Amino acid sequence: METKKDIEEIKADDKILAIVIRSAFNSPGLNFVTPNEFPFQLGLHNRPAGTHIPPHKHKPFKELRNLYVQEFFFIESGKIEFSIYNNHELHAKVILTKGDMIILNCPHEMRFLEDSRTAELKQGPYRGKDAEKEFF
């Protein structure tokens, strides 16, 4: 059974900067942990054998403009410290370990505390190294 600590929203003012989903999260069914307005929508399935979702596809958006680029990380192994920034000011630090996930909706920094393996997902298409990031 999950607790409030299994999903943590890191906020500044009323803005969600990051959502941390701990490996202990275990609600049955389909649970979306992101707000409706997030460009990334993260749903976690915890379903019994025999569950069937009929064949389907998702309808394309007619037009998307000026979406904030979000990133998602799933920690397969190791330990990573994420620094969460509100604009250019450090707001919080959070450490993730095996099985934890995070959705970033803000500037951030990563420090690998152990040898780590992680899966990263962000919006595309890829615009090239110089166009993708602004370091500060």
Q: From first to last of the 136 residues of the chain, give the pLDDT tens digit.
A: 445 579 999 999 999 999 999 999 999 999 999 999 898 899 999 999 999 999 999 898 888 888 888 999 999 999 999 999 998 999 999 999 999 999 999 999 999 999 999 999 988 777 777 777 788 8
Length of the chain: 136
pLDDT value for 122: 87
pLDDT value for 2: 47
pLDDT value for 1: 45
Question: pTM for the full model?
Answer: 0.86
